[in-house]
Amino acid sequence: MTRKDLIDFCLTFPAAYEDYPFDEPTETATAVMRHRGNRKSFALIMRHDGKLYLNLKCDPFEADFLRQAFKAVIPGWHMNKQHWNTVVCGEDCDVPEEEIKRQVENSYDLIKPKVRKRK
């Protein structure tokens, strides 16, 4: 998946928006995908040393499983290593596109505002 593909997919989720807190929006700037309801981030899409990285929030047990299952999944780069994974995208990426999309959706579900039940 390309950077644009990842951003476009993230924007399909309700109340998701693209933010650039570190730089002006450019092709090389880090895109932070957030939820409007709580401003929490669920994906960071960035380039470093010519590679495309995708940081995603993840349940700690699943995070460890994914790191063992895929060579391209590593502990979250510049993030909490227990709760975030990084997918190194590109030609060498052994994570199928559908699995990347599943991980993005899971990350979104982990940060979206919880619906409170009325008494």
Segment 101-111 shows an average pLDDT of 97
Does residue 119 belong to any structural domain of this protein? no
Q: Quick one: what percent of the chain has pLDDT higher than 90?
A: 78
Number of domains in the chain: 1
Look at residue 43 in the predicted model and tell me its pLDDT: 97
User: Residue 90 pLDDT > 90, yes or no?
Assistant: no
* CATH number, domain with residue 84: 3.90.1150.30
Does residue 20 surpass a pLDDT of 80? yes
In a domain, 116, yes or no: no
Tens digit of each residue's pLDDT (9 = 90 or more) over 46-74: 998 889 999 999 999 999 999 999 999 99
Q: Report the pLDDT averaged over residues 73-87.
A: 93
Asked whether residue 7 is assigned to any structural domain, the reply reads: yes
Residue 118 placed within a domain: no
Residue 117 falls inside a structural domain: no
Domain span at residue 105 reads 3-111
DSSP 117: P
Average pLDDT rounded to a whole number, residues 74-83: 92
**Residue 72 confidence (pLDDT):** 96
**Confidence (pTM):** 0.91
